Amino acid sequence: MINAFKIVWEQIIYFPLIIRMVKYGDQSTYQNFFLGQAWKIFNPILQVSVYFVVFGFGLGQSQAHTNPAEYLAWMLLGMAIWRFMNEAIMGGSQSIKRQIALVSKMKFPLSTLPAISIASAIWTFLALFGLATLIMLFGGTGISPQWPWTIYYLVATISFSYSFSLLNSTIIILIPDYISILRLIMMMTMWIGGVIFKISSFNNIIGDILRLLPFNYVIDGIRDSWYRPDLHFETTFYPATIVFWSLVLLMLLLGSFLHNKFKKNFIEYL
């Protein structure tokens, strides 16, 4: 527990440094591009537009909604959270392995590297979330009166992403093959996390299990609080909340323990 508190405190103390590192990383990544950092906004929007054409029209998912624009807004909100978590977790999980040499020169905690990756991925969320909001407003749907809950679900998303990334960052150094398993897990979450298909259509034990998954918890939560309420989700809110935060706490405790135990020997493993 002490290790977990120490790591959380490091994120608070070094938050200004985390922001500076994100700005530096963005500038160096996109400095040779004509559109520069605008690609951080265009890239996720262009990729999601392909999913909309395939699943919205090709597979007829939009027929479950009043019109295609309604499905697009619904899908964009789900994609905003999933793509943010995917980029944050994949980047954060490999951050220590990739940048340990940089940390040895600049002397700041290794635990901040996953946080830097998470902060860098926030642009993906903002781009898709902003586009979904514009479609909702121009389409006449409007924003749900429960919108303040969006802040809670965003905090929950960041908490889960950091805890999972911190745990993965040590496992990947100890077991390099684990990265392949992680990629497979993250890809599966797009299909079973309610990003493209409505989980509420599964009115059986499989649907009940899927609704308890952390990814589905935050994806449905964002939609409920920003787009409009989903009564089916309200019936599983409390058990899903308990499962979600219990998992976050467990990963944070285990991740902080492994991180502090092996961090002095990371270079030897690499």
Q: How many helices (H) and strands (E) does the chain have?
A: 12, 0
Kindly report, residue by residue over 179-206, the tens digit of the pLDDT.
999 999 998 888 888 788 777 666 777 7
- C-alpha 7/C-alpha 39 separation (Å) is 32
- C-alpha 56/C-alpha 47 separation (Å) is 14
**CB neighbours of 243 closer than 8 A, spacing ≥ 6?**
212, 214, 217
User: pTM for the complete prediction?
Assistant: 0.87
- C-alpha 140/C-alpha 91 separation (Å) is 37
Flag the least confident range among 76-85, 235-244, 256-265: 235-244
The domain segmentation of the chain, as residue ranges, is: 2-269
Q: Could you tell me the two tokens for 247?
A: 């998992």
- 216, 251, 243, 179: which is closest to 82 by C-alpha? 216
User: Other CB atoms closer than 10 Å to residue 210's CB: what's the count?
Assistant: 16
Q: Could you give the 3-state DSSP secondary structure of residue 193?
A: coil
